[in-house]
Amino acid sequence: MKYKFADTNLFLRFLTADDREKFERCKELLARVAEGKEHLIVSHLVVAELVWTLLSFYKLPKAEVVEKLLTLLSLPSIHVPDKGAVIESLVLFGSKNVDYVDAYNAVFMRRRGIKEIYSYDRHFDRIEFVERLEP
């Protein structure tokens, strides 16, 4: 199976439809992906950039961002290394008042059996399976 890397802006054009021509082309590509005719790969950083841009620049509500990204990532022909952790991070991000990167780091820790984190970021206190320590 041959993968092609998909950059953040591909998904932004599709999710926001802020450029009609690019939206249509991205919609066609993602239809082929949904049918399994094309296969895309994205990095964890693409997902993080999508979250940040959709929230900060496009001002979409957090719940809408999470829903849109979970829908995209549910496509079998979109590969993300450790997709389960990314999906779990989005769910945690959507359910807690923490930013996406903190949610991802908490999931990263949990999947490795790590419970303690050195941090001054009190947002970690909102995640029940993380114990925050200050140096």
76 and 36 Cβ atoms separated by less than 8 Å: yes
Cα 24 to Cα 7: distance, rounded to the nearest angstrom: 17
83 token code pair: 């997709």
pLDDT in tens, 68-79: 999 999 999 999
Phi, psi (rounded to 5 degrees) for 60: -75, 145
Ranges of the chain whose pLDDT falls below 50 = none
**Domain 1-81 belongs to what topology?**
Rossmann fold (3.40.50)
Q: What is the largest CA-CA distance in the chain?
A: 52
pLDDT score recorded for residue 74: 95
β-strand partners of 3: 39
Helix (H, G, I), strand (E, B) or coil at 135: coil
pLDDT score recorded for residue 15: 97
Cα 68 to Cα 106: distance, rounded to the nearest angstrom: 22
Cα 23 to Cα 82: distance, rounded to the nearest angstrom: 28
The structural domains of the chain, with segments of one domain joined by +, span 1-81, 82-134
pLDDT score recorded for residue 1: 83
